[in-house]
Amino acid sequence: MNKIEHIGIAVKDLEAANKTYEALLGVAPYKSETVESESVTTSFFHCGESKIELLEALNEESAIAKSIAKRGEGIHHIAFSVDNIEEEIQRLSKQGFVVLNERPKKGADNKWVAFLHPKSANGVLVELCQEIE
Ligand code: ZN
């Protein structure tokens, strides 16, 4: 694991949250992107070497909608950047972590992503991500 690539925050209203985080971080979001496969719209902010990802659900089926219904808004996942996501999936599976998608999938911000079940990591949904070359 190289570093915390970003922290994902579930929000109800992306436009309002963009304004809040722009005021907080002192920078505007550098990109906004809809990921149909995940039923989310995201926006990304730079914060030093890390990023903040805001996620708004596109519909009620979205994992983000379900998370907000259960726990309200707030931190949804922590993403770690890795050099070789396939190797990391293998390594972590062998150690007993529950990988939610054994095959990396295309996530936001030009990344291959895989998620570990929160029960594997003390209640934290962990995202592994690798830049798509
Ligand atoms: Zn993320």
Mean pLDDT of 34-58: 95
Beta-strand pair 111-116/50-57: unpaired
Confidence of residue 6 (pLDDT cuts 50, 70, 90): very high
Expressed in angstroms and rounded, the spacing between residue 110 Cα and the centre of ligand 1 is: 11
pLDDT at position 40 is 95
Question: Hey, CA dihedral for 11, 21, 38, 91, is it positive or negative?
Answer: negative
- Percent of the chain scored above 90 by pLDDT? 92
Expressed in angstroms and rounded, the spacing between residue 107 Cα and the centre of ligand 1 is: 8
Expressed in angstroms and rounded, the spacing between residue 77 Cα and the centre of ligand 1 is: 7
pLDDT at position 1 is 87
Dist CA 110 CA 129 (whole Å): 9
Expressed in angstroms and rounded, the spacing between residue 41 Cα and the centre of ligand 1 is: 11
- Percent of the chain scored above 70 by pLDDT? 100
Expressed in angstroms and rounded, the spacing between residue 95 Cα and the centre of ligand 1 is: 23
Expressed in angstroms and rounded, the spacing between residue 124 Cα and the centre of ligand 1 is: 13
Expressed in angstroms and rounded, the spacing between residue 129 Cα and the centre of ligand 1 is: 8
Mean pLDDT of the chain: 96
Expressed in angstroms and rounded, the spacing between residue 51 Cα and the centre of ligand 1 is: 9
pLDDT at 108 over 90: no
Strand order in the sheet with 31-35: 31-35, 40-47, 50-57, 3-10, 74-81, 126-131, 111-116, 105-106
Rg of the chain, C-alpha, whole Å: 14
